[in-house]
Structure 1
Amino acid sequence: MTVAFFSGKRRRAAATIGAVSAGLLVLSACEKPTPLATVTVGSESVNSEAACYNDGKPIKESLVQDCLNKDSGKTVKVALDDKIRFGVDPEIAENGWTLFIGGQPAEQEPYKKTYRSIPASAFFTSQTGETASKTKISIVETDGKKLIGIWLFTLEKK
């Protein structure tokens, strides 16, 4: 003897709800995430999606300073003798990327590789020889003229 668990109406309603749920799931999966940038110190890694990103197209110049001045939720604690490793997704490296310190470019030419290491002391010693306790770092994807994406991190001295 076979027993029906649902009546015909309930089965159709369940099928409809299932189809709608599956459709919404597919649509939500269509949103493409931004590429990631990663900062690693020792065995601690912090990665972030872009604070500002325009799907690989240049960010409007009127928005750049606001993006660079945003507060960063990603903080990495470092000692002055640590090496800081910066890593980016290959699509960022394809265009090129540079580091900004405190909202100002630290380099002239975009870097075209996915990974680089820099001593932490380079980020905490000012031109006057004083050391700061925190430094805001931005990884900026650029094609040499326009900024394409901005990833924000804060380095905090241990």
Structure 2
Amino acid sequence: MTQAPATTAFSRARGLRSRRGAAALGAVVLSAFALSACEKPTPLAQITVGSRTASTEAQCYDDGKNIPNEELETCVSERAEKSITVDSGDPVRIGVEPDIADNGWVLFVDGRLVTPTPSKHTYASYNSDQFFNTQPSQPGQAPVPSEKAKVGIVEIDDSGNYKGAWSFDLKRKQP
């Protein structure tokens, strides 16, 4: 009679272990399925001012395939998802992932091309004052700088094909 309780306890433990194993296996399968449904993230671009950084994925990106001009113009004209505030004279550092730098990238501010030749670097630094247009003022008054600027980073290959676009809003810090 001493044998039966041990066998029963052993079979209960084995049943419990197999249920736990099945539950763990089910969780692994569900996790793998959930991950396979996710989209592959696009390369990131970022802007850093002082100790503050804003990063974003591309507004337009098709896994490195060419993007037609019309689509790129639409993407670049959309509202930026990320913004960062700058003081006058602050250094603004722009960083891109190596995948973007391998092709090259150009910088636009408020739709104006700022860097005529594509950069193959992952990092560039600018003075924040370069980003703000000077607004015409009343006759006889000093020009007034704009309060915000839309910065566009556009990946472009050696053939002039657009590959992706990232954008940020820069806001001038108010005194």
Q: TM-score range by the shorter chain?
A: 0.7 to 0.9
| 1:142 matches 2:156 | yes
Number of aligned positions between the proteins: 157
Name the CA shift for 1:21/1:106 in 2 (closer, same or farther; >3 Å): same
The alignment's TM-score, normalised by the length of structure 1, stands at 0.86
Contact 2:135 2:145 in 1 (8 A): no
- Cα deviations across residues 60-79 of structure 1 (Å, max 9, x unaligned)? 22211110111112010001
Q: Which amino acid aligns with 1:84?
A: V
Residue ranges of structure 1 left out of the alignment (5+ in a row) = none
In the alignment, the residues of structure 2 paired with residue 86 and residue 15 of structure 1 have an alpha-carbon distance, to the nearest angstrom, of 44
1:10 shift after superposition: 6.1
Larger proportion of helix: 2
1:56 shift after superposition: 0.8
1:12 shift after superposition: 9.1
Contact 2:87 2:128 in 1 (8 A): yes
Residue ranges of structure 2 left out of the alignment (5+ in a row) = 1-8, 137-142
In the alignment, the residues of structure 1 paired with residue 50 and residue 117 of structure 2 have an alpha-carbon distance, to the nearest angstrom, of 27
Which structure is larger by alpha-carbon Rg, 1 or 2?
A: 2
1:107 shift after superposition: 2.2
Name the CA shift for 1:127/1:109 in 2 (closer, same or farther; >3 Å): farther
1:118 shift after superposition: 0.3
In the alignment, the residues of structure 2 paired with residue 83 and residue 14 of structure 1 have an alpha-carbon distance, to the nearest angstrom, of 53
- Pick from 8, 33, 36 the counterpart of residue 27 of structure 1: 36
Q: Indicate the SS of the match to 1:94.
A: helix
Indicate the RMSD between aligned Cα atoms, in angstroms: 2.5
Which residue of the partner structure matches residue 126 of structure 1?
Answer: 134
Name the CA shift for 1:75/1:12 in 2 (closer, same or farther; >3 Å): closer
- Cα deviations across residues 41-72 of structure 1 (Å, max 9, x unaligned)? 00101111101101111112221111011111
- Pick from 96, 115, 136 the counterpart of residue 88 of structure 1: 96
Contact 2:46 2:95 in 1 (8 A): yes
1:132 shift after superposition: 0.4
